[in-house]
A and B are shown apart, each in its own frame.
Chain A
Amino acid sequence: MSRFTYLFKRVALSIPVIIFGTTVTFAIIRLGPLSPAAAILGPQGDARAIRQIEKRLGLNDPLWEQYFDFMSNLFLFDLGQSWVINSGTPAIDLIISYAPRTIWLGFWAVLIALGIGIPLGFYAGLNPNTFSDYFASFGGIVWRAMPNFWLAVILVTVLSQSEQLFGFSWTSFIVETNVVTSPNLAVLKNPTRLLTDPGQAWTNLAKATKQILPPALVLGSASMGTEMRIGRTAVLETINSKYVETAKAKGVSPRVLVWKHIFRNALIPLVPVITAEAFILIGGSVLVETVFSINGIGLLFFRAAEQGDLPLVGTLMYLFILLIVGLNIVQDFAYTIIDPRVGYDG
C-alpha cells in the first residue's frame, strides 16, 4: 500500500469517528434533561421567550430533522451563533477572537515541554543509575502526578508575591506584566510592526511571551514528565541495541555516536507523546485558562457550559473533535515517514 492510499484510508476511517462524537454531543445537548432553551434563559425565563427560542433553534421539529439539521450545519461549517456569552454573535467570530491566545498558550506549552523534558530524559538515559538520573526520574514522576490546576494556583501565588517571598519581583522582571491576565497578541496580527515600530512592538511581544510562560509551563507539565520518562527509556534501549555496539566497535567517536546513532532513533517513540499532548492541552486549557484568566477557547467553553450556552458548546465540541482526529492522522502519517518499519495497516 502506498503512502497516499494509507493516508486516504486513514481519513476515510476518521469519518465515522467524527460522526460518532458529534452524535454523542447532539444526544447530550438535545436529549439530556436540560433543554437548550431553558438553559439559555436560566431558571427565571418566561414561557413565551422559551417558546421563541425553541422555535428559532428548531426544538419543536421531529427529532430526526433536528439531528440532520445539527449534523449538516456542523459539517458545512455553519456554526450557528452564541446565545448567552455574547448574544447574537456568530460562533465563528467568537472562536476566531478567542483562539489566538489558546494557540499561543499551546505553542509555548509544547515548546517548553519539549525543550525541558527531552533533554532531561536523554541526559538521564545517557547517565543511567546515577544520582542525577534518579533525581530527574523521580522529579519527572512527581511532576507528572501533580494536578495542573493546583500547580497553576501555586504558581500564580508565588509569582505575584515573589517580591515578598524571594525578594525577586517577577512582575517587573524584564518587562512590566501582571501574572493573572490575558496576553495581548495584537502584535502577532500585524507582524510588520516589528519592523516599522520596533520599540513598541518588541516590548509587546516580550510581554505576551512572558505572560504566557507560567501557564504554558503548567500546561506542559504532564507531558514534560512523560517525555522525560520515555526519552530516558528510549535512550537506554537504543544504547543497548546491537547497531550501537557495532558503531562503537568500528570506532565511531562518542559524539557522533550519541547525536547520530542514539539521539535520532530514540526520538521515534516520542512522536506519539508529542501529539498526545494535544489531548492534554485541550482539556487542560480549561483549567489553566481559568486560573490565569486567559481569554482563550478553554475559558470560552467553560463559561459557555456553565451559563447554559449549549449551541455554542456543541460547536466547540465539534471543533475539538475535528482537531483531535486531525492530529491523530498527522501523527500516524508522520510516524510512517520517520520510521519506515511501521506498517501501514497498523
Chain B
Amino acid sequence: MMETELTDDIDQPLRDRLKAHPRPALLWAAGLCVLLLLEGPTYLDGLLGAIGAGLALLPGAPGAEAFASASAFFSELPHLLSRELVPNRGYYDGSAWQGTFLGLEPKYAWLIRFLLVYAYVAALLGWLWYGYVLFRRHYRAANWTPTDDVIDRLRSHYWGLFGLAVVVFFITMAAFAPVVGPTTAEENIEGPYSHDMKYYNEDTETVETITIGEANLGSASRGSGDSNVGIWSYDDFGRFHPVGTLVSGKDLFTFLAFGARVSLFIGLGSMAIAGFIATTLALVTAYYKGVTDLIVVLTSDSVQAMPALLLVILATVVFRNHWIAELYSGAMLFILLFALIRWPGLWRAVRGPALQVGEQEWVDAAKSYGQRPTVIMRKHMAPYILGYLLVYASLTLGGVIISVSALSFLGLGITAPTPEWGRAINIGQQYIASQSWHISLIPGILITLVVTGFNAFSDGIRDAIDPQSEGAEGGATGAAAGGGGG
C-alpha cells in the first residue's frame, strides 16, 4: 500500500520507469498471463456466475440469464485444474481401471489432481512475490520504505508464516472446492439419485451401473461391523475416500471442501463489512473526537453487552422462514449478523492507532492546507490503521468460523444439504468411540487447525507492523478469543 503512494509523488512516474527498462516487467507479465490463462475459464466462470447470481436477486433479474449462460460456456472450456483433465473416478473392469487419469488407481489420480491444485496456487503466489521483488529491484523510486522492514520481519516470523500457510491451504481448499474433492457436491451431496456411476461387481465379475445414491447406502460409515469407510480407503464401489465417508455414505472430503467454502464466505464477508464499519467509525471519531466519539463508544459498548451467540441464535430462529435466510442456505444472514455484532471489537482495536495518527503533524499540515476531511482520513490516516485492522480481523475471523460451526452443530443456520463442518461433528457424535471416528474428529481437527492458523497469522502481522507490541497482546487478543463463544 505504501509503495504506490510514494511512487505517485516522485518526479518520474512509474510508467516512465517501466518504459525505460521494460524487460523484467514484460517477462513477469507474460508469466502471469500464462498462469492465469491456464485457469482462465474457472475465474471467468466464477466471476460471471457470481454476477449472474447477484443479478438474479434483483427484481426482474435483468441480464441474469446472459451471465449464467456465459458462465456455463466458460465452465465447458478446458483448463489445467479440471476434473476432466485429471479424472479420478472410473471403474475397474476386471483387469484395469477405466476412465481414470492414465489408467491409475483412483487414489493416485485424485492425489495428483489435489497436489496439482496446490502446486498451481504455490506457483501463482510465488510468481506474485517474484513480481514484488522485481518491482522493488527495478522500478521503485525509493531504495527503502518502512514496508520493507515489515515484510522482512514477517519473513522471519515462523509462527506467522505457519499461520499464513494454513490460511492459504484453507482458502485454496474453499476456492477450488469443486476440483480438490474426489467427487462433486452436485453429484454426491445434493442430488445423488439423479446421477449414475459404474462399478465392478466382484460377485458377478461384470461392470454394473448404479445410482450414486444407492452406492452411498453401501458406503455408509456407521461404526459397527462392515459398515465403515475410514480414512484413505476405497468403498465397495471402487470410489476412493481420502478421509472416509459420512453416516449417509457421502464423501467426507468433498463435504469438508464445500464446508470450507461456506465458512470462508461467511468469515470474509462479515469481516469485510465489519472492517468497513470499524475503519470508517475509527477515522471519523479520531478526526472529530468529542460527542461523535462518545456516541460510538456507547453504541459499541451496548452491542458488546449483548450475548453474541445467543443473539445470533435468536435471530436465526426469528428469520428462519424469511427470504434472507434462503440466500446461500443462510450464509448471507450470518454475514450480516456477524458484521453487526463484531464491528465494535474491530473498532476498539483500531481506535487507538487512529487516535494516534490523528495527532500527527502531517494530519495538521493537511488540515492547514485546506484538504477536505474525507481526503485526510482516507489518504493520511487510513493506511496507518489498516495493518491493525488486519491483525484483529484475522483473529475475529477465527472466532466467526467457530461460531458458525457451533450454530450448525446445534442445527441452526446453514441448512442442509449445503455442507458445514459443525454439522459433520453433530452427525458423527455417537460414532466417536467406534471405527467411524473420522466423521466427528476430522472436521474438529480442521477447525482447530484453521483457527490456530488465523490466530498465528494475526500474531505474525502484529509483530511485523509493531515489533514493540509483543507485550501488549493482553486485553485485545484476550477479548477476541472471548468473543469466539463456541
- Residues of A in contact with B (beta carbons under 8 Å apart): 13, 16-18, 20-21, 24-25, 28-29, 32-34, 39, 141-142, 144-150, 153-154, 157-158, 161, 164-165, 222-223, 225-226, 229-230, 233-234, 236-237, 269, 272-273, 276-277, 279-280, 282-284, 286-287, 290, 301-302, 305-306, 308, 310, 313, 316-317, 320-321, 324-325, 328
Contacting A144 at CB < 8 Å: which of B303, B320, B481? Answer: B481
User: A273 to B476, alpha carbons, bound, how many Å?
Assistant: 10
Kindly list chain A residues whose C-beta atoms are within 8 Å of the C-beta of B306: 21, 24-25, 317, 320-321, 324
Contact flag A17-B433 (CB < 8 Å), given A237-B471, A272-B478:
no
User: A306 to B314, alpha carbons, bound, how many Å?
Assistant: 8
Kindly list chain B residues whose C-beta atoms are within 8 Å of the C-beta of A18: 305
Contact flag A33-B305 (CB < 8 Å), given A145-B398, A149-B422, A317-B314:
no
Instruction: Write the nearest CB–CB distance from A39 to chain B, whole angstroms.
Output: 8
* Closest residue of A by beta carbon distance from B159: A141
Q: Is the CB of B307 within 8 A of A33?
A: no
Q: Is the CB of A282 within 8 A of B320?
A: no
Kindly list chain B residues whose C-beta atoms are within 8 Å of the C-beta of A223: 481-482
Q: Which 3 A-B pairs give the minimum distances between C-beta atoms?
A: A283-B485, A20-B302, A283-B309
Q: Is the CB of B409 within 8 A of A302?
A: no
Interface of chain B, helix or strand or loop or mixed? helix
Kindly list chain A residues whose C-beta atoms are within 8 Å of the C-beta of B486: 147-149, 283-284, 287
Q: Is the CB of A305 within 8 A of B429?
A: no
* Closest residue of B by beta carbon distance from A24: B306
List 27 contacting pairs A-B, 8 Å CB cutoff, sorted by A.
Answer: A17-B298, A20-B302, A25-B306, A28-B314, A28-B318, A34-B320, A34-B322, A141-B452, A145-B448, A145-B451, A147-B406, A150-B409, A150-B447, A150-B448, A153-B444, A157-B433, A222-B481, A226-B478, A233-B470, A273-B474, A279-B483, A283-B310, A283-B485, A284-B486, A286-B309, A287-B409, A320-B306
Contact flag A279-B432 (CB < 8 Å), given A145-B398, A150-B447:
no
Apart from the given pairs A150-B443, A287-B406, A321-B306, 19 other A-B contacts in the complex at a CB distance below 8 Å: A13-B301, A20-B298, A21-B305, A24-B311, A25-B306, A33-B318, A34-B320, A34-B322, A146-B444, A149-B406, A149-B422, A229-B477, A234-B474, A269-B475, A276-B478, A279-B482, A284-B485, A310-B318, A317-B307
Kindly list chain A residues whose C-beta atoms are within 8 Å of the C-beta of B315: 28, 32
Q: Is the CB of A145 within 8 A of B452?
A: yes
User: A308 to B319, alpha carbons, bound, how many Å?
Assistant: 12
* B371 close to A (CB within 8 Å): no
Kindly list chain A residues whose C-beta atoms are within 8 Å of the C-beta of B398: 145
Q: Is the CB of B298 within 8 A of A16?
A: yes
Q: Mark B151-168, 1 if CB is under 8 A from A, else 0.
A: 000000000000000000
